[in-house]
Chain A
Amino acid sequence: MTNHAQRNLLHAYLDDELDLVRSMDLEDHLAECGDCANEVASYRALREGVMTISLRYEAPEELRSRLLTEIREQERPQIEHVVVQRRVPWWSWAAVAACLLVASVSFMLDLGQRRERTLMKEVVTDHVRSLMAAHLTDVPTSDQHTVKPWFTGKLDFSPEVRDFSADGFDLVGGRLEYVEGHSAAAIVYQRHKHVINVFTWPSSGSDEAPRAIAQQGFNLVEWKQAGMYYCAVSDLNRQELAEFSSMLRRQAAPSL
Chain B
Amino acid sequence: METSQDASKKVARFEAVILPHLDAAYNMARWMTRNSGDADDVAQEAMLRAFRFFDSFRGENGRVWLMTIVRNTCLTWIRRQMPQQNSAEYDERLHTDLEASLTPESEFLRQATSEQVRRAIEQLPPEFREVILMRELEQLSYKEIAAVTQSPLGTVMSRISRARAMLRQFIAGQRRREVKQQ
13 A-B residue pairs with CB within 8 Å: A8-B158, A10-B161, A12-B157, A45-B106, A46-B168, A49-B112, A49-B117, A55-B137, A64-B22, A68-B15, A68-B19, A71-B51, A75-B11
Q: How far is the CA of A55 from the CA of B134 in the complex (A)?
A: 12
Judge if A115 is at the interface, Cβ distance under 8 Å: no
Find out whether the CB atom of B168 lies under 8 angstroms from the CB atom of A55.
no
Residues of B within 8 A of A42 (CB): 103-106, 109, 168
Residues of B within 8 A of A41 (CB): 106
Find out whether the CB atom of B142 lies under 8 angstroms from the CB atom of A15.
yes
Interface residues of A in 34-78 (CB under 8 A from B): 35, 38-39, 41-51, 53-60, 63-64, 66-68, 70-72, 74-75, 78
Q: Secondary structure at chain B's binding surface: helix, strand, loop or mixed?
A: helix
Find out whether the CB atom of A59 lies under 8 angstroms from the CB atom of B26.
yes
Residues of A within 8 A of B30 (CB): 57
How far does the Cβ of A77 sit from chain B's closest Cβ, in whole Å?
A: 8
Q: Which residue of A lies closest to B113 (CB)?
A: A53
Residues of A within 8 A of B43 (CB): 59, 63
Find out whether the CB atom of B114 lies under 8 angstroms from the CB atom of A53.
yes
Q: How far is the CA of A54 from the CA of B136 in the complex (A)?
A: 11
7 tightest A-B CB contacts, nearest first: A78-B4, A59-B26, A45-B106, A75-B7, A53-B114, A57-B30, A45-B109
Find out whether the CB atom of B44 lies under 8 angstroms from the CB atom of A63.
yes
Q: How far is the CA of A39 from the CA of B102 in the complex (A)?
A: 10
Residues of A within 8 A of B61 (CB): none
Residues of B within 8 A of A10 (CB): 161
Judge if A17 is at the interface, Cβ distance under 8 Å: yes
A63-B11 contact, Cβ under 8 Å, with A11-B164, A15-B135, A56-B23: no
Residues of B within 8 A of A133 (CB): none
Q: Which residue of B lies closest to A73 (CB)?
A: B11
Q: How far is the CA of A72 from the CA of B31 in the complex (A)?
A: 28
Judge if B118 is at the interface, Cβ distance under 8 Å: yes
Q: Point out the residue from B1, B51, B114, B157 that lies within 8 Å of A55, measured CB to CB.
A: B114
Q: Secondary structure at chain A's binding surface: helix, strand, loop or mixed?
A: helix
Q: Which residue of A lies closest to B4 (CB)?
A: A78
Judge if A129 is at the interface, Cβ distance under 8 Å: no
Judge if B141 is at the interface, Cβ distance under 8 Å: yes
Q: How far is the CA of A10 from the CA of B3 in the complex (A)?
A: 53
Q: Point out the residue from A12, A50, A60, A70 that lies within 8 Å of B40, measured CB to CB.
A: A60
Judge if B171 is at the interface, Cβ distance under 8 Å: yes
Residues of A within 8 A of B66 (CB): none
A47-B4 contact, Cβ under 8 Å, with A11-B160, A57-B31, A64-B22: no
Judge if A192 is at the interface, Cβ distance under 8 Å: no
Judge if B97 is at the interface, Cβ distance under 8 Å: no
Known: A11-B157, A78-B4. 10 other contacts (CB 8 A): A15-B142, A41-B106, A42-B104, A43-B164, A57-B39, A59-B26, A64-B22, A71-B48, A75-B7, A79-B8
Q: How far is the CA of A7 from the CA of B112 in the complex (A)?
A: 23
Judge if A96 is at the interface, Cβ distance under 8 Å: no
Judge if A81 is at the interface, Cβ distance under 8 Å: yes
Find out whether the CB atom of A78 lies under 8 angstroms from the CB atom of B117.
no
Residues of B within 8 A of A72 (CB): 11
Judge if A82 is at the interface, Cβ distance under 8 Å: yes
Find out whether the CB atom of B26 lies under 8 angstroms from the CB atom of A63.
yes
